[in-house]
Chain A
Amino acid sequence: MSELSHLARLEAESIHILREVYAEAERPVLLYSIGKDSSVLLHLALKAFYPARLPFPLLHVDTTWKFREMIAFRDQTAERLGLDLIVHVNTEGLALGLSPFGPGASTHTDVMKTQALRQALDLHRFDAAFGGARRDEEKSRAKERVVSIRSAQHRWDPKRQRPELWRLYNTRKAAGESLRVFPLSNWTELDVWQYILQEQIPIVPLYYARERPVVERDGALIMVDDERLPLRAGEQPQLRKVRFRTLGCYPLTGAIDSDADTLPAIIREMLAARTSERQGRVIDQDGIASMEKKKREGYF
């Protein structure tokens, strides 16, 4: 009997967390963002409850500005695996006509993502939401608990977060309070890719390099995913071989020039990479501790 590999130990830990919270919560839900971390989380959840089918639904908060390939992948995945998928759009926010372009981008994210998530959790009375966040993503996440308690208003209060010892998670909460649960807390970006390779987990094709129409804007490569992207003077979409390290709303997600069109090539490229995955997220680049601020407001 050989020593378990680090991926085997990470997998076992995540499955343990998923089962533990499912056993103790009343109405759990898996927040499905369609990205690679969500794909891994979904894969682990399917394993955790096998041979039973996934005993809770998936929730996707759709800002209506996701890449078309993401939406297609989402629907195919739900269909292929027979999943119970809830898609939530903040229709009130939609009526405000907010746009992810220009100075209003962060308001758009707040209304269509943060507030929409709260709406959906309240609407379905979910009391525990699994998410794919990792502690290595950002400095302020390094201290996030695996099980994080949120007030009835979905606020995160650093003082109320509980110490987590051994493998013991405290999932108790008062009426109206809810839990955010991060089974991938101890995974790194590299672990996620190695696991996708090992388990042959399907991911959105946008992660693979391909010729795509992009414009260069404020130092980022923005893909012209549909006709809603207003071109600025002088901007001419050009075909470049690019891929994405993270996925979000297409006008807010920068692509990178790349030839990596297979999983091994992606991992090789990652190992040589000199920038963090968050750099591709336009929304993150405003101010120190912006994540911490967003988290207090209820951003996942």
Chain B
Amino acid sequence: MAVESAPFGAAAPLAPAAPQQLLRFITCGSVDDGKSTLIGRLLYESRQVFDDQLAMLETDSKRDGTQGDELDFALLVDGLSAEREQGITIDVAYRFFATERRKFIVADTPGHEQYTRNMVTGASTAELAIILIDARKGVLTQTRRHSYLVSLLGIRRIVLAINKMDLVDYSRETFQRIERAYVDFAAQIGLADVVAIPVSALRGDNIIEPAVTMPWYRGPTLMAHLERVPLDEPLKARPFRMPVQWVNRPNPEFRGFAGLIVGGGVCVGDSIRVLPAGLATRVARIVTPQGDRTEALAGQSVTLTLEDEIDISRGDLLVAADSPAGVAERFEATIVWMSGEPMLSGRPYLFKCGTRTVTADIERVEYKINVNTLERHPAQRLELNEIGLATVRLDQPLAFDPYLENRDTGGFILIDRFSNNTVGAGMLQGALPTGSSLHWQSLDVDKARRAAQKNQQACVLWLTGLSGAGKSTIANLVEKKLVGLGRHTYLLDGDNVRHGLSRDLGFDEAGRVENVRRVVEVTRLMIDAGLIVLVSLISPYRADRSRARSLLADGEFIEVFIDTALADAERRDPKGLYRRARKGELRHFTGIDSPYEAPESPEIRIDTARTSAEQAAEQIVSYLRNAGIIGRDWAFIP
């Protein structure tokens, strides 16, 4: 294999007349489209492959190659040993090459179905995407999937590399047919800037040099296009944005704010605002080790000092005063889920956007998107590699821009609070009402005071168990005993709340989750009022009960598991519901066609096979006495 032809790299300038620019792009294709071969070819042709690496490649090609005696360029880029053995690419790899005009960073991502998360990761920093198509196969489902993901991440420039032209006899008709099909599809998802190039990565046709095999093609070669394509609309055309990373205080006289400018530019004297607080000031100095500067641009890391002494810390966003970012606590966001544990509505995650980390609750999932058909489906959760639209509520206000206006102030990651893993990535679409206009009114009389007045501690006895287990009977007896002891109580019964508070809800999983949520909120209010609350509710899902527990103070949530075998409950069947469920008249009936997740460590467990309702009630009241929730001797006071 000859190595003489090396038109690029060798001539890369020592001190270029015009500074080299940087273009980051992503390559998308499936296992067989020849993507690794294409990247290997780009590296080789731009002379990024050294003799020792070439020697290793020759050895590797003989041993592992799929190209007979030819060099297998794919082996240049397949890194970890596991994937070498499997012959596929996993994870995102970054490759580098340079020409006289530009330096390129390539995000090389695998194309198979389960690796949406890798593609999204690679696309998040790319300005252009090369979509590879096998000329023999044309536009496939995966082509549409890749294109959708690329458009979702805000990439607007597409190169359609129609590869393996050598295997279709360099047919112009084939090329044009695929190009037309793709352009039609791309327009539907908002990708208007598509440049199609017929190539053979294996033969090197139209990669660097125009292919003699395809004289009918007059457009640029792949490399020529990458070198000359205009870069994305520069960030500097947008309004000034700088997330504050760190406050630099080397001595009492100096207070600088360090950060990377992610939008617009800034000059000394410019009026800016500090969000989310909203305070206004002006830029006093732009400080660098080489002396002060008068202006700075998007893409630069700077240290600013300001004219006024205002309280600014990491996580604040500096913005142009005349074009500030929005501030909100509740958002609509597209989320890509990246963890094996599903994303559940109602579960809190850490949320990092720019330099600000807050706690986020997924309020609800609106729908998920089938990335192959682009159809929307109703959903309550997102699984690994699923994409959906969700409502996200933060525990603090966030300064933001919609993602398509600015990736840095509109893109976020979600972090699991326990494993610390990055479990999701999202793009803010816009703010939703509430949040900033709602305030928590603080009151002088609090829960402890109200409970003390009643000589008790507020809490909830949460009775969970199958239908017909005896929850309502036991709860009723407990309440009678407590009232007899002079306690202040309220019983929220599962059947009764369905007549009013939750009349609009069904019995499917979503309806049950919402029903429990409402009961929990009412319980919180009653606990705040100082009451001992009894909840009698099947509440079949462990996650809902632990959420209820997490919303209350330590010791306030007392889980009482009314433990009955399904056969016993079904035999008793006081309301005739099991019979109807068995006949198919009732759907989603717990124990029959809907699961019951038993508590793992309830505070109180009542085994109804051995305990009468009266004994159970007594057992619960003793628990309250022993836990100090009701005084021991109160019963003897007249």
Residues of A participating in the B interface, judged by any CB pair closer than 8 Å: 1-13, 15-16, 19-20, 22-23, 46-53, 135-136, 139-143, 158, 160, 162-168, 170, 172-174, 185-186, 188, 190-191, 197, 264, 267-268, 271-276, 278-279, 288-289, 292
- 7 pairs of residues in contact across A and B, judged by CB atoms under 8 Å: A4-B299, A6-B22, A135-B94, A143-B92, A166-B411, A186-B94, A191-B103
Contact check, A170 vs B81: say whether CB atoms are below 8 A apart: no
- When the two chains form their complex, are residues A264 and B77 in contact, meaning their CB atoms are under 8 A apart? no
Segment at the A interface, from B13-21, B135-143, B459-467: B13-21
Q: Does B105 touch A at the CB level, under 8 Å?
A: yes
A23 touches B355 (CB 8 A): yes
Bound complex: CA of A275 vs CA of B51, how far in Å? 5
Selected from B82, B124, B297, B415, the residue in CB contact (under 8 A) with A172 is B415
**Could you tell me if A185 and B260 are in contact, using CB atoms closer than 8 angstroms?**
no
CA distance in complex: A20, B117 (Å): 24
Assuming the contacts A16-B260, A172-B420, asked whether A190 and B98 have C-beta atoms less than 8 A apart, the reply is: yes
In angstroms, how far is the closest chain A Cβ from the Cβ of B286?
12
The segment from B246-254, B390-398, B527-535 found at the interface with A is B246-254
Given contacts A163-B338, A273-B50, contact A9 B121 (CB under 8 A): no
Q: 16 extra interchain contacts, Cβ-Cβ under 8 A, other than A143-B91, A164-B121?
A: A4-B297, A7-B19, A15-B260, A16-B260, A23-B245, A135-B96, A139-B76, A139-B77, A140-B80, A142-B94, A143-B79, A165-B425, A186-B96, A188-B103, A272-B10, A288-B60
The answer to whether B422 and A163 touch across the interface, beta carbons within 8 angstroms, is yes
Contact A19–B301 (Cβ < 8 Å): yes
Whether B300 and A12, one on each chain, are in contact in the complex, defined by CB atoms closer than 8 angstroms, is yes
Task: For B422, list chain A residues within 8 Å (CB).
Answer: 162-165, 170
Closest 10 CB pairs of A and B: A5-B19, A52-B250, A15-B301, A6-B22, A142-B93, A165-B124, A172-B420, A139-B79, A276-B50, A289-B81
Q: Bound complex: CA of A139 vs CA of B39, how far in Å?
A: 13
- Cα separation A2 to B265 with both chains bound (whole Å): 12
Are the C-beta atoms of A50 and B289 separated by less than 8 Å?
Answer: yes
- B173 at the A/B interface (Cβ < 8 Å)? no
Please measure, in the bound complex, the distance between the C-alpha atom of A264 and the C-alpha atom of B246, giving whole angstroms: 37
Q: Shortest Cβ distance from B110 into chain A, in angstroms?
A: 11
Contact mask B71-101 → A, CB, 8 Å, 1/0? 0000011111110100000011111101000
* CB pair A5 B20 closer than 8 Å: yes
Q: Please, which residues of chain A bring their CB within 8 A of the CB of B412?
A: 168
The listed residue (A1, A142, A163) touching B77 by CB distance below 8 A is: A142
B21 touches A3 (CB 8 A): yes
Q: Which residues of A contact B108 (CB under 8 A)?
A: 142
Distance A271 CA – B411 CA, assembled complex (angstroms): 38
For the complex, give the distance between the alpha carbons of A53 and B258 in Å. 14
CB of B117 within 8 A of CB of A1, answer no
Contacts of A267 in B (CB 8 A): 14
Pairwise interchain contact B420-A158, C-beta atoms closer than 8 A: no
Say yes or no: B98 contacts A188, CB within 8 Å. Answer: yes
Give Cα A164–Cα B236 distance, bound, in whole angstroms: 24
B162-195 interface mask toward A, CB cutoff 8 Å, 1 = contact, 0 = none? Answer: 0000000000000000000000000000000000
How long is the Cα–Cα vector from A140 to B91 in the complex, in angstroms? 11
B52 in the interface (beta carbon within 8 A): yes
Residue of B nearest to A265 (CB): B14
Closest to A177 in B: B420
Which residues in A have their C-beta under 8 angstroms from that of B262?
Answer: 167
Is B19 touching A163 in the complex (CB atoms < 8 A)?
Answer: no
State whether B408 touches A52 (Cβ < 8 A): no
Complex CA gap A7/B12 in Å reads 14
Contact of A19 among B92, B117, B246, B297 (CB under 8 A): B246
Docked Cα-Cα span, A2 to B18, in Å, equals 10
Closest chain B residue to A2, Cβ basis: B19
- How far is the CB of B59 from the nearest CB of chain A, in Å? 9
Q: Please, how many angstroms separate the alpha-carbon atoms of A13 and B413 in the complex?
A: 19
Q: Closest approach, in angstroms, between the C-beta of A249 and any C-beta of chain B?
A: 20
Q: How far is the CA of A135 from the CA of B91 in the complex (A)?
A: 14
| B350 touches A (CB below 8 Å) | yes
Partner of A46, one of B231, B289, B300, B413: B289
Q: CB-CB < 8 A to A172: which residues of B?
A: 350, 415, 420
B92 to A23, Cβ gap below 8 A?
Answer: no
Q: Is the CB of A143 within 8 A of B93?
A: yes
A140 cross-chain contacts in B, Cβ below 8 A: 79-80
Closest Cβ of chain A to B497, distance in Å, is 39
CA distance A254 to B420 in the complex (A): 43
Q: How far is the CB of B90 from chain A (nearest CB, A)?
A: 9
Shortest B451–chain A CB gap in Å is 37
Residues 109-135 (chain B) with a chain A CB within 8 angstroms: 117-118, 120-121, 124-125
Q: Is the pair A4, B80 in contact by a Cβ cutoff of 8 Å? A: no
Q: B residues 226-271 with Cβ under 8 Å of A?
A: 231, 234, 236, 245-246, 248-250, 254, 256, 258-260, 262, 265
Beta-carbon nearest neighbor of A188 in chain B: B96
Chain B residue at minimal CB-CB distance from A284: B52
Contact A142 B95, CB 8 Å, known A51-B254, A275-B50: yes
